[in-house]
Amino acid sequence: MKQSMTLIPTLREVPSDAEIKSHQLLFRAGFIRQNASGVYSYLPLGKRVLHNIEQIVREEMDDTGAVELLMPALQAAELWQESGRWYTYGPELMRLKDRHGREFSLGATHEEVITSLVRDEVKSYKKLPLTLYQIQTKFRDEKRPRFGLLRGREFIMKDAYSFHASQSSLDEIYELLFQAYTNVFMRCNLDFRAVIADSGAMGGKDTHEFMVLSDVGEDTIAYSDTSNYAANIEMAPVVVNYEKAEEEEKTLEKVLTENQRTIEEVSSFLKVDSTKCIKSLLFKVDEKYVLVLTRGDHEVNDIKLKNLFEAGSVELADPEVTTEVLGCPIGSLGPINVEQVEIVADFAVQYIANGVCGANEENYHYVNVNPQRDIKVSRFADLRFIQEGDPSPDGQGKILFAKGIEVGHVFKLGTRYSEAMGATYLDENGKAQPMIMGCYGIGVSRTMAAVAEQFNDEKGLVWPANIAPFELHLIAINMKDEEQAKLANELYSFFKQERFEVLFDDRAERPGVKFADSDLIGLPIRITVGKKAVEGIVELKVRKTGEMLEIHKDQLLDTVKQLLSNL
């Protein structure tokens, strides 16, 4: 494509509202423009990147046997009333009325529409399993849209839904989709992890998030430095083999710790390591209070606490309530002689020897605490967040933390929607059964931003070749020079004919402007036609490495092919 005929409005300044690299660069390089908060136009370059990602997604989905369809954005309220989400989805769901006053939502997700479709058209186990997907614009009225395409209100998503007659069939398709997602993000050259995520009551194995590692991510991932283990930090079990210090149990003793309240203050004041301190926190677990103990250097993971009690809700008790229940301000809280509430403790607490804890009396702590001797713990369990340096739960390597951008999600839905909406099939015995469902999403426009976030340098974007809007950036230094114009045009025709995607900067701009724009846009290979055009020699630059070489046009094709295969 000739640059003079398209719209690539590059900018030198960083827009004031763009906080992160991908937003800044996609804007500055003319890939996107904002229409309203969280609502964007994809300009020609942006549209091409979207298309490339969509094609990768489509190919990988098709390979699993999933079938593409297209559902509408306008969704009748009645459907969402059937599932119940009309009342529970909240203000993220955009709603409107048609001219006759009928209520609609604007598609935020399509479980209701697809479940109603399959309910109406599939009646027999013989037609299952069935996996359907679409690539489509979605609408979610985010409270605070930000980070450009990372958190928008109108965005492009691939969503897939599978329907099954058995759990094992769901497990099988889930595995296929999991692998397809892995392929998609690998082909996008992303540094990502498939992360075990929270699936609520369904158990940790039934949902994975695909997270692109990035400092601007809003989730924390715990991953192994050795294996491919990764989990949302909330979900990672702790599998440390704690050992008790080999020291004699000393006599419990109450000591004055005036104005020492936090673990830090107490450990420093008493000159003991925080690993020897016992932290006591009062939680409200559903309707009852529970005292939860962890080591001073650990944090309570309330999801684990919730799962331990199979509770609906878990929250830290207010300081006032805590004081009321335990008769002591929170700075001196402790478990010894506590009878009024149940006490649970993280495994690590069990191994503390001659430790420290609050005395349930203001300004006093106990020293020489030996939990098994001194504290009435009802259950020891894994109750803390994993930490960097902990062994990986799969037994391979140590845990590291990273921030992640969620670009994909695979989820075993079970019968949540089929039961609510009556989507049943007849089994081999002619008996109606609710279909078992899975759902699988990829944020297509978000993936574009994630790639931009991972692939850039101080000069601009650095696209991987298979995502780049064009493979080659052909630049004529001076289009008024006859030799240069001739060779540039010749190369443009040649590479197009060889089925390369070429952006040809034929503009009447200064070379400095062209080079700066070229670096900003970030196509993998730049071919510059300059003064040596008369000898048939051009300059070739690899955007990623900065490598430059002069080359005769006769060697150009082979060199370009070889370079691209590594980008």
Binding status of residue 353 toward its own copies by CB under 8 A: no
Q: CA–CA separation, 360 vs 335, rounded Å?
A: 8
**String marking each residue 138-157 x if it binds its own copies according to CB under 8 A:** -x-x-x---------xx---
The DSSP symbol for 200 reads G
**String marking each residue 383-412 x if it binds its own copies according to CB under 8 A:** ------------------------------
Binding status of residue 67 toward its own copies by CB under 8 A: yes
Q: Which stretch binds its own copies (CB under 8 A): 73-81, 243-251, 477-485, 521-529?
A: 73-81
Shortest distance (Å) from residue 65 CB to its own copies: 5
Shortest distance (Å) from residue 68 CB to its own copies: 5
Considering only residues 20 to 39 of the shown chain, the ones binding its own copies according to CB under 8 A are 33, 35-36, 39
Nearest residue (CB) to its own copies, 92 versus 320 = 92
- How far is C-alpha 283 from the chain's CA centre? 29
Nearest residue (CB) to its own copies, 104 versus 223 = 104
- How far is C-alpha 408 from the chain's CA centre? 7
Binding status of residue 171 toward its own copies by CB under 8 A: no
State the greatest distance between any 2 C-alpha atoms of the chain, in Å, as a whole number: 96
Give the residue from 377, 399, 397, 374 showing the smallest Cα distance to 386.
399
Contact criterion met (CB below 8 Å) for 156 and 136: yes
The DSSP result for 501-543, as a single string, is: -EEEE--S--HHHHHHHHHHHT-SEEEEE-GGGGGTEEEEEET
Q: Which listed residue (19, 55, 59, 74) binds its own copies by CB under 8 A? A: 74
Count the alpha carbons within 13 Å of 276 in the hemisphere toward its beta carbon: 19
Q: Which listed residue (94, 485, 542, 551) binds its own copies by CB under 8 A? A: 94
- How far is C-alpha 337 from the chain's CA centre? 45
Contact criterion met (CB below 8 Å) for 78 and 115: no
Residues 346/347/349/353 CA torsion (nearest 10 deg): 180
Nearest residue (CB) to its own copies, 374 versus 506 = 506
Shortest distance (Å) from residue 423 CB to its own copies: 14
The DSSP result for 330-356, as a single string, is: GGG---TT--SSEEEEEGGGGG--SEE
Q: Which stretch binds its own copies (CB under 8 A): 13-21, 100-108, 203-211, 478-486?
A: 100-108
Nearest residue (CB) to its own copies, 134 versus 207 = 134
The two beta strands, 342-346 and 379-381, are parallel
Would you tell me which residues interact with its own copies (CB under 8 A)?
1, 4-7, 9, 33, 35-36, 39-44, 46-48, 50, 65, 67-76, 91-92, 94-96, 98-99, 102, 104, 106, 113, 117-118, 120-122, 126-127, 130, 132, 134, 137, 139, 141, 143, 153-154, 508
